[in-house]
Amino acid sequence: MNPNLNDVVSYYQDRLILQYRGLPKATQTVAILCKQAVCDYLTQSLQVAFDVNTAVGVQLDIIGKYVGISRLQGTSSTVNTYGFERYPGHTGNPNGLQRYAGGVNTGIIWMRYGYASTNSFALSDDAYRILIQLKIILNSSDNTLYSIQELLNQFFPGTITVVDNTNMTLTYYIAPDISQTVPISIIEQFLPKPMGVGINFVSAGNLRVLSDGTTIRTLSDNTTDRVTT
């Protein structure tokens, strides 16, 4: 473990020759020189400042840019963004575009492009961290079952697991401490989906990983839908 800045300063202050040891000006001079030499430990701070597990605020925003995910997330709007919508309380004009003058077509509006993002909201640091980690998995996975399981175990051991149902479908089991932080409707968008494979999502209790790396045990009737907790 590397010494902290105070340890470094104290180390060199203790090595002042006897006639200067403990004198305020000499002690302060050594402290200033030490801090300048190690740049106030800036380089050491940078090594951990952008660790996804400990980063906060703007640090997470920068990591999000690197991996390709915004803090603004939300469910997709069901409103037809590119088209006509009736203005609330009006019947509109079925003839489409008409002159505005004379009260013609006052009940129909053209939806703004920005409407598509009105359902988005800024995630908390904890929620954003989860999505960043999921995006890292998406960026790193080769979409094989082994790759997905290994990456999930690295970032979400026992809290997000995946099981091959042996029928061209996968089931993701998501523990409450994850789904209560980020809605499953958003999490679903950031879990690997191999081409041609169906995906199921189950919100379950904290999952106990079995010796074979799964959280499902095949029952005597050949079903595999019992989640071990």
- Given a contact cutoff of 8 angstroms between Cβ atoms, the answer to whether 203 and 151 are in contact is no
Number of domains, the chain: 2
Alpha helices of the chain — where are they, by DSSP H? 5-13, 24-37, 42-49, 58-67, 125-140, 145-155, 176-179, 184-187
Does this model's pTM top 0.85? My answer is no
Establish if 54 belongs to a structural domain: no
Structural domain contains residue 35 = yes
44 three-class SS: helix
Quote the pLDDT of residue 135: 95
Distance CA(61)–CA(117), nearest Å, equals: 18
Residue 22 structural domain:
5-45
Tens of pLDDT along the chain (229 residues) come to 567 888 888 988 988 988 888 899 999 999 999 888 888 777 777 777 788 988 999 999 999 999 999 998 876 544 444 444 455 555 544 444 544 555 544 444 444 545 455 567 889 999 999 999 999 999 999 999 999 999 999 999 999 999 999 999 999 999 999 988 998 888 988 999 999 999 999 987 544 444 444 444 434 444 444 433 3
- Residue 103 is inside which H or E element, if any? none
In a domain, 227, yes or no: no
pLDDT at 206: 44
Residue 50 lies in a domain: no
Within-domain flag for 38: yes
**97 belongs to a structural domain:** yes
Asked if 55 contacts 49 with a C-beta cutoff of 8 angstroms, the reply is yes
Closest CA to 66 of 155, 6, 121, 139: 139
Which residue, 118, 145, 174, sits at the end of a domain?
118
| 22 occurs within a structural domain | yes
Domain end, chosen from 62, 86, 118, is at: 118
Of 118, 143, 172, the position where a domain reaches its end is 118
Amino acid 146: pLDDT:
93
pLDDT of residue 109: 46
In a domain, 165, yes or no: no
- In order, the DSSP letters of 161-223 are EEEE-SSSEEEEEE-HHHHTTS-HHHHGGGS---TT-EEEEEE-SPPPPPTTS-SB---TTS-
Residues near 146 by Cβ (< 8 Å), separated by ≥ 6? Answer: none
